[in-house]
Amino acid sequence: MPAIDSLLMLIDAQQASGIVLRPRETPVLIGGKGRGLTMPPLDSQTIATFAAEVLAPEELEKLRVSGACDAIYRSERHGAFAVEAQSSGDNLSLKLRRGAAGLAKSAAAAPVAAPVAVPTAAVAATSAAPIVPPVEGVDPTDDPARAALAARLAGVIARLASHDVSDIMLSAGQPPWIRSADGFAAASTAVLTALEIRAFVATLLDPPRRRALDSAGSVDLAWQAPALDDEGPQRFRVNVFTQAHGLAVALRPVSRRAPLLLELNLPESVGNLANVSGGLVLVVGPTGSGKSSTLAAMVETVNRTRNRHILTIEDPIEFVYQTRRCLIHQREVGAHVESFAAGLRAALRESPDVILVGEMRDRETIAMALTAAETGHLVLSTLHSGSAPMAIDRVVDIFPEHQQGQVRQELAGSLRAVLTQQLLPGVRPGTRFPAIELLTVNYAVAALIREGKTHQLSTQIQTGREDGMIAFEASLFELVRAGRVSREVATAAARDPDELQRRLREARG
């Protein structure tokens, strides 16, 4: 009996519709609740053995060349299964779903695994296109070939997102690149063409967003990929931008539900920030540090524990919340409201208790957020900043000099906390953990903000443990002590490596 049949037997036993096999992970059943099986994680060699059993030699070669392959495996005992195989570097994954009809139908409609064959003349034409390719007026439904290109690339994106990636990058002349816990790398050797990307982008943009792309050179939006399994379609936060060789697309998968703080490995003290009665709470950090997920988890904490009216202003809407104990209204910039500032101005007349602002990007938005926080609303938002002192300075510096004193006064009175976070690769491959710094505003911190002495806030964080503050090096120390992050990774991320080493030495001694 082939080795793979021992897993197919489990599909029958638990009445599932399929199974997903990924290296260094326990197999997961498709269907029902997608329960994980109580068995050890699979290594790459075991999955390679399974692949050799379910794929014919020509299919294995196709997988090696293109990085993806669809096939049908017929088990004598368990019937036919649709097989989806993907390979990126040394990572080989398999998904087997019961029944071959679905695969045959989808493959006939829009095959997504093989690289697109584009005539040489078309490649030459697209490579000679202007730096900003024309998008206005392009309708792929008028051109079946372009519609097929767009559908094929959409399928590729959906498959890549099923492999626990945090970002997908598409650009002409390059294969798709992915960012995961293992780093940033090309997902395959199959190169995308400018024609493919233009066809795909044309399906994303409505006329207003096409005009925004033409005028500003970039545009944000939300997009939903085609469903690949019983869990439903995958949502993405998307940025389309122009660059020297045409269009490029950055996609970030968004969880199908709002995460919980425990799932994000964040301490309970972060959840307490969502329970303050009013004021401003900022989550700061570099791009890709998980700021949006943390905000969503804080909103979900309120949703599960208190009766409140929550209003979100996002660009675009990412997590879709389900009403539990809260009434939640989500508004998208461009679709439901003109701008963050306009949404905040309107929010003051819409009786919210909690306002989530996706990002404080400009002076008017920051001014309105401070006004909302001063009038008793809990305002949750993000800033791109490396630390709490830098975030406070950035808020103040965006205003003219003659207004900065007043802004410091407003911040001192309304700011409740600044959470800084950075995601670090874990000891176990494929995992990441947040290292955080938490500044809570007490009387001493408010005085330093009011007097413009933000350079002294780091000392307050170090000595403010009783007020719930968490120093960055203390967070790193806990990650190392718990065996989640290696000493080397923590030391490289530390702002004060000597302080981290001192803590580690004391813990040993």
Q: Distance between CA 160 and CA 34 in Å, rounded?
A: 19
Of the ranges 6-20, 153-167, 415-429, 474-488, which one carries the lowest mean pLDDT score? 6-20
Cβ atoms of residues 324 and 354 within 8 Å: no
Element of type H or E holding 46: helix 44-54
Dihedral angle computed from the Cα positions of residues 99, 100, 105 and 107, in that order, rounded to the nearest 10 degrees: 130
170-179 per-position pLDDT tens digit: 998 888 999 8
Closest to 371 (Cα-Cα) out of 314, 410, 412 = 410
Q: Which residue has the higher pLDDT, 136 or 183?
A: 183
Confidence tier at 125 by pLDDT (50, 70, 90) = very low
Beta carbons within 8 Å of 122's beta carbon, 6+ residues apart = 193, 195
Question: Cα angle vertex 66, ends 256, 80, to 5°?
Answer: 65
Q: What tokens appear for 179 in the block?
A: 């960012």
For 407-463, the pLDDT digits (tens) are 999 999 999 999 999 999 899 877 889 999 999 999 999 999 999 999 999 999 999
> 23 and 45 in contact (C-beta within 8 Å)?
no
Q: What tens digit of pLDDT does each residue of 368-415 get?
A: 999 999 999 999 999 988 899 999 999 999 999 999 999 999 999 999
DSSP string of 110-127, one letter each residue: ---SSPP---HHHHHHHH
Query: Above 80 in pLDDT, residue 18?
Result: yes
Structure confidence at residue 433 (pLDDT): 93
Q: Which secondary-structure segment (H or E) carries 438? A: strand 432-440
Give the C-alpha separation, 47 to 358, whole Å. 41
pLDDT in tens, 223-243: 888 777 666 678 888 999 999
CB-CB contact of 301 with 317 (8 Å)? no
Catalogue all structural domains in the chain, each as residue range(s) with its CATH number: 5-109 (3.30.450.90), 120-254 (3.30.450.90), 268-466 (3.40.50.300), 471-509 (no CATH)
**What pLDDT is recorded for position 488?**
93
Q: What is the pLDDT of residue 229?
A: 65
**CB 86, CB 93: distance < 8 Å:** yes
Determine the pLDDT at residue 414: 96
Q: What percent of the chain has pLDDT over 70?
A: 87
Mean pLDDT across 45-69? 82
pLDDT of 32: 53
Which residue is listed with tokens 């638990």? 14
The confidence score (pLDDT) of residue 417 equals: 96
Segment holding 57, helix H or strand E: helix 57-66
This model's pTM is above 0.95: no
**Confidence band, pLDDT 50/70/90 cuts, at residue 142:** very low
Percent of the chain with pLDDT over 90: 43
Length of the chain: 509
